[in-house]
């Protein structure tokens, strides 16, 4: 009787391994930004407080969607701002007015998104907090 030849262990296709590595790089980037950017810690605390309030008040599904989009957009803007600042510092270590403008505009994008997220928060949480303390 002929024994079957053992099959080599199956390896994940290269594309799947590459995609998994990409996620690892992305998480490493978020972690690196958290280690160096104080503003991200503020956003992290605000995110925890927001999720806690959402659980406490029992938000509707659409409200969770609005809150998640607002929180995610602020995080995204802050991470892009951090990346822009790093690249500007790399290519223009000395002061240059255009480098300063690029940093200011990137920071302005974070401010605009944070104000929009604040508006979402006030619309969703405002009436509930008002009712809680307005008794």
Which residues does the annotation mark as catalytic?
A: 78
For the chain, the maximum distance between any two Cα atoms, rounded to a whole number of angstroms, is: 86
For the chain, the residue count is: 135
d(CA 109, CA 80): 9
Kindly report the CA angle at 22 between 77 and 25, in degrees rounded to 5? 65
d(CA 81, CA 114): 13
d(CA 132, CA 135): 6
């Amino acid at each position: 009787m002929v024994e079957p030849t053992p099959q080599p262990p199956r390896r994940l296709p290269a594309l799947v391994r590459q995609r998994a590595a990409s996620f690892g790089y992305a998480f490493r980037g978020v972690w690196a930004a958290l280690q160096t950017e104080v503003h991200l810690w503020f956003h992290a605390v605000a995110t925890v407080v927001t999720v806690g309030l959402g659980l406490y008040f029992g938000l509707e599904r659409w409200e969770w969607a609005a809150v998640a989009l607002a929180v995610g957009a602020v995080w995204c803007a802050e991470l892009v701002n951090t990346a822009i600042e790093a690249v500007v510092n790399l290519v223009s270590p000395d002061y240059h007015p255009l480098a300063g403008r690029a940093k200011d505009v990137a920071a302005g994008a974070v401010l605009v998104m944070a104000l929009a997220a604040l508006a979402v928060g006030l619309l969703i949480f405002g009436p509930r907090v008002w009712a809680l303390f307005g008794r």
